Structure 1
């Protein structure tokens, strides 16, 4: 059995090794910073432009969370509808799969025409790219409810609605939290994509501007900030998941 402190320390050790190898490789091969900057150069650029980077990060964060919140509402409602009705599953699910296959980069220019330059396309792109995994996981959690269990509950007098709400939804919670951890990272991707294409603020706009000026350390600093925000949100949902659905993870404490 792996000790808890080893599991907690392992990601940081791996990160340190990656950063060290990265730094040594860039210095050893004398790679120009406008091609591939070293971690030290990225850190220096972050310190020099902390204010602008933090303002851009805040803009990206609230736009992402707005789109992500919308995706939770729509994803849960659609997932509940699809998972609770076979007719709805057959009618809606193929359409959602087809829509999800559309590259979101192709949708951003259309959103710009409809809503103009600014945060509108960012919120909508974050929503469009992140609601699908939430919908699928809620629908899966409800649709895979064991027929035998449902039959027993029906015999005991439970109605279809009672089965879905009191048994199906709690059973779908691990699926739901799993989808949130995937969807939040996708939401950041959607926001940055929209900011790079149609934004006037945010990390995406900063990366686009820095790249056009060949200031790769600044662009990489923006990428690092996005990664940190996504990891923090991921860990937040993991923390909430373990404390609300511990019964589904009792076997994960070992190993």
Structure 2
């Protein structure tokens, strides 16, 4: 009897009797939908409460309309001027994506060099820290003087804002590898390139994606901040003009679109992490789990 049970366990791939380990079957579609609803109903309820409070304040005229427009007035801007907003949204999205891409490429390369060279780290890290603490809105006019009124200054500011989280997270990830794994790889004759591609880089990906999710939202802020100075297009330009004209419906509409860009890009990075790192503990929702 025990042999048949053991054989059946081996055939089905189920774990043997291991203390402290429980087996969970893969959830079905209904269970996954229930989990998704459990995760989303609270933020959805909070957003609805915020919009309800916004509508109540505007309807009761507790605040002047030129200070806080009604949701209806903001919606009229979103639906009545889609071409205008889309044109500026595309410009900001382009600057954000290009700045984020450059920050990722340069940041990962800088992190790798810093991890493998103590001299470079001691030289470069203070400069990176200094560049991070300098207010970007203060240096934006200088970039306009140097690079002109095109998209280059906006992209550069997006790069500078998104660069630091990428570097820090990548350095942390590359150094989080178990030293015993590195010793084992060296014992088995693995060279530096094999050790990096097979051990160090895969182990650093969870930390890197944590930094990417921060950096992609900061890149949106960087692009908009760059558009505040010397721009004639982009959501930052729309916000700046609407603020000067006290056109708060347009200002609120631009803020909502800007926030939506950040949320969408964050979700895309989250999906990329889910596809590339299904093995990581933070993504593991099936199989054996510890019971204590």
Closer, same or farther in 2 for the Cα pair 1:96/1:250, shift >3 Å?
closer
Match of 1:218 in 2: 250
Report whether the alignment pairs 1:200 with 2:232. yes
Name the count of aligned residue pairs: 254
Contact 2:274 2:283 in 1 (8 A): no
Match of 2:268 in 1: 236
Match of 2:41 in 1: 9
Query: The residue matched to 2:106 in structure 1 has which SS?
Result: helix
Calculate the TM-score normalised by the size of structure 2: 0.82
In 2, Cα distance between equivalents of 1:142 and 1:84 = 10
Moved more, 179-188 or 92-101: 92-101
Q: How does 1:1-255 map to 2 (within 5 A)?
A: 3-250=35-282, 253=285
Calculate the TM-score normalised by the size of structure 1: 0.93
Contact 2:176 2:204 in 1 (8 A): no
Contact 2:277 2:283 in 1 (8 A): no
Contact 2:278 2:284 in 1 (8 A): no
Contact 1:84 1:139 in 2 (8 A): no
Query: The residue matched to 2:119 in structure 1 has which SS?
Result: helix
Query: The residue matched to 2:190 in structure 1 has which SS?
Result: coil
Deviation of 1:6 after TM superposition, in Å, equals 1.6
> Could you give the per-residue CA deviations for residues 150-182 of structure 1, whole angstroms, max 9, x where no partner exists?
112111112233222221101111111111111
RMSD: 1.8
> Could you give the per-residue CA deviations for residues 86-145 of structure 1, whole angstroms, max 9, x where no partner exists?
332222222211211111112111111111112111111111111111111111111222
Contact 1:121 1:198 in 2 (8 A): no
Larger radius of gyration between Structure 1 and Structure 2: 2
Deviation of 1:200 after TM superposition, in Å, equals 1.1
In 2, Cα distance between equivalents of 1:251 and 1:225 = 30
Closer, same or farther in 2 for the Cα pair 1:111/1:250, shift >3 Å?
closer
Q: Which runs of 5+ in 1 are unaligned?
A: none
In 1, Cα distance between equivalents of 2:65 and 2:83 = 22
Deviation of 1:71 after TM superposition, in Å, equals 0.8
